Amino acid sequence: MIRFVVRRILAAVPIGLVVTLGVFALVFAMPGDPLRELAGDKPIPASVLAAKRAQFHLDRPFLVQYGLYMKDMAAGQFGSTFDGQDIGEQLKLRVPVTLRLALLANAFQWIIALLFGTYAGFKRNGAADRLLMASTLFVLAVPLLVLAFTAQYVLGVQLKVLPVSGAGAGFPQSYLLPAMALAVVGFAGIARVLRTSIVESVNSDFVKTARAKGLGEQRVLWRHIVPNAILPVVTIAGYDFAGIFAGAVLTESIFNLPGLGQFLFQAIRLKEGGVVVLLSMLAFVTFVLINLAVDVLYGVLDPRVRHG
Amino acid sequence: MSGGRPQPGEVLLDVTDLSVEVDTVRGPLRLVDGVSWQVRAGQTLAILGESGSGKTVSVQALTGILDMPPCRITGGTARFRGQDLIAMQPRERRRIVGDRITMVFQDALSALNPVQSVGRQIAECYEVHRGMSRRDGMRRAVEMLDRVRIPAAASRVSDYPHQFSGGMRQRVMMAMALALDPDVVIADEPTTALDVTVQAQILELIAELQAETHMAVVLITHDLGVVADVAHDVVVMYAGRVVERAATLQALDSPVHPYTEGLLRSMPSADLKGLELPAIPGTPPSLYALPSGCAFRPRCPLAVGACADVVPPLLHVGPGREAACIERTALPGVIA
Amino acid sequence: MAELGVAVAADALDLAELRTLSNRELLWKLLRKPQFVVCSLALLGFFAMAAVPTLFTSVDPRSCDLAQSRGASTAGHPFGFDVQGCDYFANVIYGARPSVLVSVVGSAGAFLLAAVLGLLAGYFPGIVDSLISRTADVLFSLPPLVAVIVLLNSVQDRSIWVIVGVLLMIGWPAGMRLMRSSVFSVRNREFVQAARSVGVPPLRILRKHVFPNAMAPLLAQTTLGVGGLVGLEAALTFLGVGLQPPSISWGSQFGVAASYRDTPHLFIWPSLFISTMTISFMIIGDSIRDALDPKLLR
């Protein structure tokens, strides 16, 4: 097990380097001088500009810049943004925001999807099933933007039960709307996969065996069908996390939450290569770790893989 | 459990006039049509028939594990020691099916839950029907694995189905079916998926355990050789109907229905060495397009015009013997 | 349970017959589904809107009267006015074009790109497969959206073609993987080996034998993904890295509406249009998949 984990982490290192280098190259290749643009129309003295360029390594060749950023990052020296904010401080403020959003959204989507998908598949073509298929079709079809705006307008502007945007109201009020907006999309995907998987498991021979043992329907469902049907769903959990991160960029912008997604978006707009690389690295590492956890979990849930 | 331990020879399961239909896109289809049989304590009844003859559907219907819908029981009773399983509420039936009546399936690899250890699957019987703790259930599971002669039972109890060989897996299925010392075991082609040598071992094991416990065994098979080896009585099914019923020895000795006769003749034996094995001509009929009258008519060497008119009823042809053929209404010896 | 009852056999019979549906039968079957017909008509409407907006409105969407800013609907202006005081109905109609282009060109392009790369990767193991698959691995590990935003941000004049191009460039790996795995399952089937054994050139085998038998999953995924593409274009434009101001699109209308929460009609109309369009795409995709997949029909 430990060897498996170590091997996976070692295999991820080169991909991580290529990914961050690629992102950095893209930012580097963006036209325009970020510092001049930051200053706007005001002329900046050449000496100040030169000092700034040296501070952010902008006067060095591309690969050296990348190496210096990586070195600083490894040493825990995150430096500051072009307009002088301490990046370490920013992370300390912003990581909890995105973490809360992601955890809440995950909690929503998994709980609802597991219950809904399970019962829909178990009683196929029943009321729950029809409701699920119709509602997930709707959710998958309607763009996140529209769902989010509608929720903001109805719950925030009209009914005033939840804040429209911003993190001012704290946890959980400020996070409920964005988390729900983020969760519905994931919910639809997970619930549909689970439903199909349950339908397939229901027709398995071992379910006949379980019934022939005189087990009650609930026991057949939760002890025999679900543990088998959950396996394909576990494999998509890793990809789903990636979706949450992409969603966070958009959701945090719509709901004006000061999280990592918003930070990343601003950094791209301001061509802050260092910040973009840092956040991409963070996202990549989380992605690798979550997929690793998913694989380990899969081994626990499926003995055929464990002994294979 | 009503009535305590069954007496040897007591009728345990009595199926009368059981009919099952399935709803398909093209309308209802009769899978089982007026099937009757009974099995006594300590005895083995074989239900013999080809794929699609309705043998599996009939036993799944009476144990309540058939998928309903799309299937539907349209008539008949199945009395276990006097109580009709079919009229029962599912909750009531589950106290009998799984406890007094248990089942063994053909393909143990797919019939066992792949993500649960075999011990837990056996222990579950004790937990659900006897209210035992997991720990006690597991202890009993080890005893059961030992009883079906699985070597090193104590260490294998926590293994998973995929870690066993085919024959050992079938033994696990048997251990699960026999865990609660049932009165009736319904074995649905328990040896079909196994090697010939392993087949013999499993059949032997069933016979030994039956001798110990006086349970009744209903053995579903398409293999006449298996019937000859272990069954006391045999019911032959064709296209959803019973076509012949007899004690095994008599059926093998003097088959009445031409279908039984054809099956017997197509069985390899030492006498026929070097000769071409005769087979029943044609193929089993599609249930969508059953021939009128006798379903066996198109393949039958004895068919006459009248066979197309009515479905032949099951007639008494001799002591304890019934057959459904209008050309054979008495034992062969009597005709000749 | 070799023959788990004739019940199953009976169903298998129906399924086997369904599997051999010809294209004409498939179309006929789809046309008998009312939801398919309704959604197809709706899409035709949107396509017409994109091609010839003047069919639907004679008002110029760029002739504005600031005095009417954010005005409610009046006679001749059913959707009211936008922030600049332009007729909103005309703006929403003209906004269909980017969404339709993204959906049609984007999904056709995504299908072609993923199909070609997936065929190559699946059929030529070794260097070709490694090259394509490793590139896909890297693209897949990029934080989603980040690469898209970075690329779009570096382009000064973003036309709808640039957006489609960037989405294709970043988005192909998922479809490629699906195609590659279905090619794997087809490449050693008897008919392919038969073709190979009589010396049919590889590209012809790919085109005539492998592709037609391996394309169904990708086609289903693509049709289900069309709605997502439309939403993505709108989201990018909303974020400010999509289409730029002079061009009219539903995404930019959302961007404006976000700042004027007290004027819901600015948001309601484009939402209604974009949702109708994406739902139509989804239902059509769902109907096609249902018709192709006999398992779901029971």
CB interface of B with C, residues 47-76, below 8 Å? 51-52, 54, 56-57, 60, 66-67, 70-71
What's the pLDDT score for residue B124? 92
In a domain, residue B3? The reply is no
List the structure tokens of C203. 């590209």
Report the distance separating Cα C276 and Cα C288, nearest Å.
Answer: 18
Report the distance separating Cα C94 and Cα C269, nearest Å.
Answer: 13
Q: What angle do CA A47, A52, A56 make, to 5 degrees?
A: 150
Centroid of chain to Cα B97: 15
Of the residues A33, A145, A150, A211, the best mutation for testing chain C's interface (the one with the most C CB atoms within 10 Å of its CB) is A145
Determine how many CB atoms are found less than 10 A away from the CB of residue B309.
11
What's the pLDDT score for residue C293? 58
Residues B244 and B311 in one domain: yes
**pLDDT tens profile B88-124:** 888 888 888 888 999 998 888 888 999 999 999 999 9
List the structure tokens of A248. 């966070």
Determine how many CB atoms are found less than 10 A away from the CB of residue A116.
23
Q: If you average pLDDT over residues B2-12, what whole number do you get?
A: 75
What's the pLDDT score for residue B332? 63
Report the distance separating Cα B335 and Cα B320, nearest Å.
Answer: 18
Contact of B50 with chain A, judged by CB distance below 8 Å, is answered with no
**pLDDT tens profile A16-64:** 888 888 888 888 877 777 777 776 667 777 787 787 777 777 778 888 8
Report the distance separating Cα C232 and Cα A250, nearest Å.
Answer: 10
Of the residues A211, A225, A234, A304, the best mutation for testing chain B's interface (the one with the most B CB atoms within 10 Å of its CB) is A211
Contacts of residue A307 in chain B, CB cutoff 8 Å?
A: 160, 162-163
Q: Among residues of chain A, what percentage have pLDDT more than 90?
A: 5
Q: Closest approach of chain C CAs to the CA of B65, in angstroms?
A: 11
**Residue in the block written with tokens 């009852």:** C5
Q: Among the listed ranges B52-61, B191-200, C36-45, C107-116, which one has the minimum average pLDDT value?
A: B191-200
Comparing alpha-carbon positions, the chain B residue that sits nearest to A227 is: B115
What's the pLDDT score for residue C1? 29
Residues B28 and B86 in one domain: yes
**pLDDT tens profile C247-260:** 888 888 887 887 77
Residues B230 and B297 in one domain: yes
pLDDT tops 90 at residue B289: no
**pLDDT tens profile C90-135:** 888 888 888 888 888 888 998 999 999 998 888 888 888 888 888 8
**pLDDT tens profile A111-161:** 998 888 888 888 887 888 888 888 888 887 788 888 888 888 888 777 877
Residues B141 and B211 in one domain: no
Q: What is residue C89's three-state secondary structure?
A: helix
Q: What is residue C214's three-state secondary structure?
A: helix
pLDDT tops 90 at residue B138: yes
Residues B202 and B174 in one domain: no
**What's the burial of C194, exposed, middle or buried (CB within 10 Å: 0-12/13-18/19+)?**
exposed
In a domain, residue B132? The reply is yes
Question: Looking at residue B20, which CATH number applies to its domain?
Answer: 3.40.50.300
Q: What angle do CA B111, B113, B118 make, to 5 degrees?
A: 100
Q: If you average pLDDT over residues B28-50, what whole number do you get?
A: 87
Parallel, antiparallel, or unpaired for β B315-318 and B83-84?
unpaired
Q: Measured between CB atoms, which of B64, B111, B160 is closest to A206?
A: B111
Residues B69 and B168 in one domain: no
Comparing alpha-carbon positions, the chain B residue that sits nearest to C12 is: B24
In a domain, residue B2? The reply is no
> What type of residue sits at position C103?
S
C10/B29 touch (CB, cutoff 8 Å), yes or no = yes
Q: Measured between CB atoms, which of C1, C6, C298 is closest to B287?
A: C6
List the structure tokens of A46. 């050449």
Q: What's the whole-number average pLDDT of chain A? A: 82
In a domain, residue B6? The reply is no
Which residue in B57, B69, B67, B55 sits closest to B20, CA to CA?
B57
Most confident of A1-5, A142-146, B272-276, C43-47: C43-47
Q: Measured between CB atoms, which of A31, A146, A250 is closest to C275?
A: A146
In a domain, residue B278? The reply is yes
Of the residues C4, C6, C18, the best mutation for testing chain B's interface (the one with the most B CB atoms within 10 Å of its CB) is C6
Residues B207 and B218 in one domain: yes
Residues B134 and B211 in one domain: no
Q: Which domains does chain A have, with CATH numbers?
A: 90-269 (1.10.3720.10)
Chains that touch A (3 or more CB pairs under 8 A): B, C
In a domain, residue B249? The reply is yes
Chains that touch C (3 or more CB pairs under 8 A): A, B
For chain C, the C-alpha Rg in angstroms (whole number) is: 23
Domain closes at, from B149, B179, B209: B179
Beta bridge mates, A80: A86
Comparing alpha-carbon positions, the chain C residue that sits nearest to A152 is: C261
What's the pLDDT score for residue B271? 63
In a domain, residue B26? The reply is yes
Q: Measured between CB atoms, which of B54, B105, B286 is closest to C1?
A: B105
What's the pLDDT score for residue C22? 58
Q: Closest approach of chain A CAs to the CA of B34, in angstroms?
A: 23
Residue C118 backbone zone (phi > 0: left; psi -120 to 50: alpha; other: beta)? alpha
If one counts the domains in chain B, the total is: 2
What's the pLDDT score for residue C15? 33
A205/C149 touch (CB, cutoff 8 Å), yes or no = no
What's the pLDDT score for residue B269? 66
In a domain, residue B5? The reply is no
Q: Are A208 and A267 in contact (CB under 8 A)?
A: no
B159-170 as b/e: b if 16+ CB within 10 A: bbbeebeebbbb
Of the residues A213, A218, A222, A226, the best mutation for testing chain B's interface (the one with the most B CB atoms within 10 Å of its CB) is A213
Q: Are B37 and B56 in contact (CB under 8 A)?
A: no
A153/C137 touch (CB, cutoff 8 Å), yes or no = no
pLDDT tops 80 at residue A14: yes
C144/A250 touch (CB, cutoff 8 Å), yes or no = no
Looking at the whole model, is its pTM more than 0.90? no
Q: Measured between CB atoms, which of B51, B240, B286 is closest to C3?
A: B51
Q: Which segments of chain B does DSSP mark as H helices, in order?
A: 55-63, 90-96, 108-111, 118-130, 134-147, 153-156, 166-178, 196-213, 224-230, 248-253, 258-265, 332-335
Residues B167 and B186 in one domain: no
**pLDDT tens profile A237-259:** 777 776 777 778 888 888 888 88
What's the pLDDT score for residue C9? 36
Most confident of A90-94, A301-305, B3-7: A90-94
B64/A304 touch (CB, cutoff 8 Å), yes or no = no
Residues B67 and B189 in one domain: yes
Q: Closest approach of chain A CAs to the CA of C103, in angstroms?
A: 13
Residues B298 and B166 in one domain: no
Comparing alpha-carbon positions, the chain C residue that sits nearest to B31 is: C6
Residues B175 and B196 in one domain: no
Which residue in A167, A170, A152 sits closest to A257, CA to CA?
A167
Helices and strands (H, E) in chain B, number of each type: 12, 12
> Mean pLDDT, consecutive 10-residue segments, chain C of 298 residues?
33 36 69 86 90 81 74 74 80 86 87 91 86 84 78 82 88 86 80 83 84 77 78 84 81 80 82 87 78 50
Beta bridge mates, B23: B28
Give the structural domain span for B246.
11-100+180-335
What's the pLDDT score for residue A266? 86
